[in-house]
Amino acid sequence: MALPPFVLVVLLIVLPAVDATVFSLGRVPINNAAFNTGMHLVRSTGLTLEVYRQLFASRFFRQDLALTLVVTGVSVVLIVILAYVLALYVRFSEGFLPRVLRQLYLVPMFIPVVIASYALTTFYVDHGLLHALFTHLGLHYGSPIYHQNGIVLGQVWQGIPFAVLLLSSGLDGLAQEQIEAARDAGANALTVFRRIVLPLNVVPLLIVGTFTFIGIMGSFTIPYLIGPNAPQMLAVEMQAHFTSYNQPQPAVAMAVVTFLIAAVAGAFYVWGTARSSRRSA
């Protein structure tokens, strides 16, 4: 029974990844000027790391990589913090507002990312609705759109629903009896969170952090529609090299670099979950 999914993973993931890696190691006549021209790169025999050397020697690629890592890191931190606060609030609060929030945070899941990107642009761009409101109040307004802050804004907006949903599922699995017993023993809210809630919610936090990191690292639509023209996130730069510059090998090499960074995040997730399982045992 394990054979069909194994074959599927090999055909759809392993073989394409290996082929892409081998393609990126092919010997090509490449130079720094090629990264800003439409020069067609022709493969020849032999394997070499030349394309990676040229990538990391390029100031443009280093800026794109730095932007990608900064945007991804900041977005993940904001999503985890905001989502965890929301999940804790709807889990441990009662009344009308928590019930409403439990429904509202799911709304972005049902809005296509392209529509959401244009909606954010319309609302936050210069001379948009928010700019008009600030102007009416006599306040200065600096639009985050077409800036790295705009990408972070879009990624947080898109990532909150999945994160809150997953964290809420983990919090809903906590036994209320444990929390009540701790409160009866005199533990305050901070102690209950630190000694009971957080340790039992490590795996959902790791899942949210890892998958959010990987998703943002390779995202295209939001950076393409909301981000700056330069530097750009790696997914947008890959598309430009593959189509506009007619340079598939550098584009594939960027994809390999992105995959390796995502693999590090995946390895951290595996290590964290394994360590948590050993502690639970």
Average pLDDT in the 208-235 region? 92
Average pLDDT in the 138-147 region? 87
CA 189 to CA 256: how far, in whole Å?
A: 45
Q: Is residue 14 scored above 60 in pLDDT?
A: yes
At 83-92, the pLDDT tens digits run 999 988 888 8
At 251-268, the pLDDT tens digits run 999 999 999 999 898 888
Q: Is residue 152 part of a domain?
A: yes
φ and ψ of 2, to 5 deg? -80, -15
Which residues lie below 8 Å from residue 141, measured CB to CB, with a gap of 6+? Answer: 126, 130, 131, 134, 135
Per the structure, the count of domains in the chain is 1
Q: Is residue 170 part of a domain?
A: yes
Average pLDDT in the 208-216 region? 92
Distance (Å) of CA 133 to CA 29, 123, 138, 145, 157: 54, 11, 9, 16, 21
The pLDDT confidence band at residue 134, using thresholds 50, 70 and 90, is confident
Average pLDDT in the 44-60 region? 82
Q: Is residue 39 scored above 60 in pLDDT?
A: no
Q: What is the reported pLDDT for 32?
A: 43
Q: Is residue 247 part of a domain?
A: yes
Domain range for 56? 51-113+142-280
Average pLDDT in the 172-176 region? 77
Average pLDDT in the 97-106 region? 83
Record the pTM. 0.84
Q: What is the reported pLDDT for 43?
A: 47
Q: Is residue 180 scored above 90 in pLDDT?
A: no
User: What CATH number does residue 151 fall under?
Assistant: 1.10.3720.10
Q: Is residue 34 part of a domain?
A: no
Query: Left if phi > 0, otherwise alpha if psi is -120 to 50, otherwise beta: which for 99?
Result: alpha
Which of 12-16, 230-234, 269-273 reaches the highest mean pLDDT? 230-234
Q: Is residue 138 scored above 90 in pLDDT?
A: no
Q: Is residue 41 scored above 60 in pLDDT?
A: no
The pLDDT confidence band at residue 33, using thresholds 50, 70 and 90, is very low
Q: Is residue 231 part of a domain?
A: yes
CA 142 to CA 76: how far, in whole Å?
A: 23
Q: Is residue 36 part of a domain?
A: no
- Angle (CA) 139-143-147 rounded to 5° is 150
Q: Is residue 41 part of a domain?
A: no
Average pLDDT in the 76-86 region? 93
Q: Is residue 81 part of a domain?
A: yes
Burial class (CB in 10 A: 0-12, 13-18, 19+), 103: exposed
Q: What is the reported pLDDT for 42?
A: 43
Q: Is residue 276 scored above 80 in pLDDT?
A: no
Structure tokens at 103: 């429904």
